[in-house]
Chains A and B, each alone.
Chain A
């Protein structure tokens, strides 16, 4: 009897401890974000720092976004045609491909790719800078790492994400067009005009843009925080990198559900 109680007590204390641990981390990451916000104004005179990061965060992610966007578009074309042709409405293929990419797949898949490609390298880079005392040495040179290292990467992430998502959607639509119009014989005029009629600029396009900005914000924040908070060893950095990608992906998916639920409800 007592041993059962002991097991239950142990279990509860374990749960309690990991709960405390979790909330402590959430608290630290929010504190991190606030410090980061305070460092943002210092970027105004230094746009060069942001541009340099736009290259490594954004441009370096373009290829993977192009390739994935194309494949997703091709599959959408095939699957969409397959369903629509049963209802004799294959001319709506443009609508289907356009809406699903712009509203959902573009922002979400780009955000997952972004977390895997750009986010992981941000975490590893910051973790290594911490492990090799580069943050300490900057602080001793009277340079604030938040202003010079973290803030420019954060802004670059927020700017890059919507642009990458737009590229993803555009390439995906071309992929859908290639399969639908090029291979399966959907009328090209119908493909474009149906898409044009049914995709609303504010309801659909801007919805996707806001989503991708929100995803860029959260996944860059998570990636940077994981790197900054990493245990300063090789193992700690590698664990932080994995953790960062996993957390960012889960948060993006959950956030996507919440945003979608909220915006569909108000329609």
Chain B
């Protein structure tokens, strides 16, 4: 297997032979993935398969048991902290819960990375923050505290914060959950626009198959610690693998289990 890791390669992120477990539970078993520069790659998978875990591995917040992850040619788990932090300034991440700083207003949350990492004058910061908030439709909420936001709003503020430093890539963890159809549409378009106009590389983790396929350049389906299928949306739509069909068509029964691994149901109920 040729590992393409140089800075000019087509893939910004390459995951090689990644294995990771939590206690006895295997989350990833020898997984390979590539995320192309300037493209939107969507990762689909049932709840609890390790999608959030994958993003944390890419951001080097977790260390793999085996395998490597290269971002822009650098092995993220081998970087010293200072270089890792330099790299992270160019990696935006939208947390599943928003993860806003609760003691700061919406405005200050979005301004936070700018204040920490740039020496821009106050006027410029204000200009940038309002611009980012306008993009997510929450300029009017600039003065609110995070506790005064709904879940969906918090996630949009987190998105504004993630793009504050104009990163080279953004990892979105469930950007669509908790959004009404209107803001969902706006958000889908925003992600697409950000990707196209800023030349970002986007990585979206979601279960919203329809929204995701509408903007994805490439899709990965993961389940049970494996990549079970991958391809462009057109290819996957035509795929007749049982896994893929089940997941894309939302069928409850099939090879992908809705249930967390458990002992036999009847035996569990009768207690022996």
Interface residues of A (CB under 8 A from B): 128-129, 132-134, 136-144, 148
Given contacts A129-B102, A141-B113, contact A136 B88 (CB under 8 A): no
Given contacts A142-B85, A142-B86, contact A136 B61 (CB under 8 A): yes
Contact, CB under 8 Å: B86 / A140 = no
Contact, CB under 8 Å: B97 / A144 = no
Contact, CB under 8 Å: B101 / A134 = yes
> Interface SS of chain A: helix, strand, loop or mixed?
helix
CB distance from A252 to the nearest CB of B (A): 28
CB distance from B97 to the nearest CB of A (A): 6
* Residue B99 lies at the interface, judged by CB distance under 8 Å to chain A: yes
Closest to A144 in B: B85
CB distance from B114 to the nearest CB of A (A): 10
B:71-90 near A, CB below 8 Å: 81, 85-86, 88-89
Interface size bracket, B side: 20 to 34
Q: Hey, which chain A residues are within 8 Å of B61, CB to CB? A: 136, 139-140
Shortest 6 CB-CB distances between A and B: which pairs? A137-B99, A133-B99, A142-B85, A142-B88, A140-B93, A142-B89
Please name 20 further chain A to chain B contacts, defined as beta carbons within 8 Å, in addition to the given A137-B95, A144-B81, sorted by A numbering: A128-B102, A132-B97, A132-B99, A134-B99, A134-B102, A136-B61, A136-B99, A137-B93, A137-B158, A139-B59, A139-B61, A140-B61, A141-B88, A141-B89, A141-B161, A142-B86, A142-B88, A143-B113, A143-B116, A148-B116
Closest to A131 in B: B97
Interface-centre pick from B89, B99, B158 (highest chain A CB count, 10 A): B99
Contact, CB under 8 Å: B89 / A133 = no
Q: Hey, which chain A residues are within 8 Å of B85, CB to CB? A: 142, 144
Contact, CB under 8 Å: B95 / A133 = yes
Q: Hey, which chain B residues are within 8 Å of A141, CB to CB? A: 88-89, 112-113, 116, 161
Query: Could you give, for residues 229-240 of chain B, a 1 whenever the CB lies within 8 Å of some chain A CB and a 0 otherwise?
Result: 000000000000
Closest to B116 in A: A143
Q: Hey, which chain B residues are within 8 Å of A134, CB to CB? A: 99-102
Query: Could you give, for residues 161-189 of chain B, a 1 whenever the CB lies within 8 Å of some chain A CB and a 0 otherwise?
Result: 10000000000000000000000000000
Contact, CB under 8 Å: B97 / A133 = yes
Closest to B85 in A: A142
CB-defined A-B contacts under 8 Å, sample of 7: A137-B101, A138-B101, A141-B113, A142-B89, A144-B81, A144-B85, A148-B116
CB distance from A138 to the nearest CB of B (A): 8
Q: Hey, which chain B residues are within 8 Å of A140, CB to CB? A: 59, 61, 88, 91, 93, 95
Give the A-B pair count, Cβ closer than 8 A.
Answer: 51
* Residue B117 lies at the interface, judged by CB distance under 8 Å to chain A: yes
Q: Hey, which chain B residues are within 8 Å of A137, CB to CB? A: 93, 95, 99-101, 158
CB distance from A143 to the nearest CB of B (A): 5
Q: Hey, which chain A residues are within 8 Å of B81, CB to CB? A: 144
Given contacts A129-B102, A142-B88, A142-B89, contact A136 B95 (CB under 8 A): yes
CB distance from A124 to the nearest CB of B (A): 12
Contact of A132 among B56, B89, B93, B102 (CB under 8 A): B102
Interface-centre pick from A129, A140, A144, A148 (highest chain B CB count, 10 A): A140
Q: Hey, which chain A residues are within 8 Å of B116, CB to CB? A: 141-143, 148
Q: Hey, which chain B residues are within 8 Å of A148, CB to CB? A: 116
Q: Hey, which chain A residues are within 8 Å of B99, CB to CB? A: 132-134, 136-137
Contact, CB under 8 Å: A142 / B117 = yes
Q: Hey, which chain B residues are within 8 Å of A143, CB to CB? A: 112-113, 116
Query: Could you give, for residues 82-126 of chain B, a 1 whenever the CB lies within 8 Å of some chain A CB and a 0 otherwise?
Result: 000110110101010101111000000000110011000000000
